[in-house]
Every structure is written in structure tokens, then in C-alpha cells.
Amino acid sequence: MINQIPRIRNTDTNNFFLMAGPCAIEGEDMALRIAERIVMITEKLKIPFIFKGSYRKANRSRSDAFTGIGDEKALKILAKVGSEFGIPTVTDIHESHEAAMAACYVDVLQIPAFLCRQTDLLIAAAETGKTVNIKKGQFLSASSMEFAVEKVRDSGNSNIILTDRGNTFGYQDLIVDFRGIPEMRSFGVPVVMDCTHSLQQPNQPNGITGGKPGLIATIAKAAIAVGADGLFIETHPDPLNAKSDGANMLHLDSLEHLLEKLIRIRQAIM
């Protein structure tokens, strides 16, 4: 279900695929080091891999929060990661005019959850011809995402991924309804579970989003068990000092062991 993504290495067509990397592009050296490590792990385990990194963070709780190192600079780093390791890359876009710009550098355009109903944004992403990864809004049911899929398809692009990232539960928490994974798969698109953002605890009194990274493995295992096609995991060698979303990221040193467990679950349900 992911053959439409250029350069993806289908080393094991029975395996899930992985979208992983830092929350934001913090610099070239950091991005290359993270990518190199994940490439080594995924090639060893025969997991198709897409490198993830936001070139700019538009949705921040506080005005003094880190938003990026500069659009063009970050996008060029993403392009370098893709060319140096021969892997596809994905980044978020936030406004319609960003679609064509980002499409010059990456293989997959990601629509943030808060923006998944923005018709003009979805159409602009679709018209680039790139694969479009639409994150399900925290405020929407799984069934509602069929309309987002239709908007992209009606624009002439059938290369679509849907990503679940939980549902709002009260004011400062999220909960995952795993019934949504098979429901969204019924739309004929690959479905990904965002194992890190679904554990965020937004709207904290200090203006810094919290998280529950200790449950990343739990969310990932459950997602694979119910048939998710892929996993989205933000990872960093030093989450506590990451410039964005460190509170809910997986430590890079923990990634390989987790993926090994997930492969065994995947094999058990095949």
C-alpha cells in the first residue's frame, strides 16, 4: 500500500513502514546523524523508512517557542538527507502557498492534524503530485477522514496516507481509539499510527506541551496488532534537550529494540 512513495525501499512487503526522525530540523549535523542511525536500524530489520522532520513549527503554545532555523535552510537539509541516504522524506506544510515550495525538496507533504479540514491546503498539496500524508484531527472521528481523502483524490492525486494521532480527551490529554485504524484502512489508503503525538499532553499551565513517552511502546504494539500499515515515531538522541516536542519523543537508543518487538507482533498476525 506504499508503492506510490518514490525511493521507498520495500525490503519486506509484509512489514510495516516507519516514518521517523526529529520533531523539527535543528541543524544539518543532527539531522544527518539521526537519519544515518535510523537507516542502519531499518535496513537491518528490513523496514521501509521515510525520514521525518518539520522545516518549520507553526503551531506553538508560546510566542517564544522554537519554530525553526529558516525555511530554505531546513528544506535543503531534508533534501540532503534524502539524496545522501537514498530515502524518501516528509515534512509538514501549513498554508497553501507552501505546498509547491516544499514539494521541491521532499517526497511526502504532511497536513497537520489541526489543518486536515482546510480544503485549499489539501488541494494545493494534491496538485504537487507528491504523496500527501493527512493527520487526523484530534477533534474528528475516523469516519470523517473519508472527506479529506476525497478532496485529495478529486484533485487528481491518489497517493494518500492517513495518520491517526489520538483524540482530544478533556482539556490536557489525548486518547487513542484503535477502532479508527481498520475504519480508515477501508478507504483504500495506508494508515499510520503516530505513536508520539498521540501521547502529548497539550495546554499545560507553563505553555510547554507535556507527554507520556513511557507509553510509546504500548501505543505502537496495539497499532500493529490491529493492522496499522505504518508507524510515525519522533525520535532524538537527547529528547530532554530537543528544541521541540522533547516531552513525548522516543530516545533514539530505544528505537531498535522497540522495532524488533513490533516485527514479532506483525509476524504473529500475518
According to the model, what pLDDT value does residue 252 have? Answer: 97
Contact between 237 and 251 (Cβ < 8 Å): yes
Query: Quick check: 166 and 197 in contact, CB under 8 A?
Result: yes
**pLDDT exceeds 60 at position 168:** yes
Query: In this predicted structure, what is the pLDDT of residue 111?
Result: 98
Question: Which residue segments constitute the domains of the chain, with CATH numbers given?
Answer: 17-96+167-269 (3.20.20.70)
Q: What is the mean pLDDT of residues 116-135?
A: 98
Over residues 53-78, the mean pLDDT reads 82
pTM: 0.93
pLDDT value of residue 208:
52
In contact, 219 and 195? CB cutoff 8 Å: yes
Residue 103 has pLDDT above 80, yes or no: yes
Q: Which pLDDT value is given to residue 246?
A: 73
Per-residue HEC secondary structure of 109-138 comes to: EEECHHHCCCHHHHHHHHHCCCEEEEECCC
Lowest mean pLDDT among 57-61, 143-147, 163-167, 244-248: 57-61
Q: 58 pLDDT band (50/70/90 cuts)? A: confident
Stretch among 20-34, 176-190, 206-220 having the lowest mean pLDDT: 206-220
Inter-residue contact 234 to 23 (CB < 8 Å): yes
Report the 10 Å Cβ neighbour count for 257: 11
d(CA 228, CA 140): 19
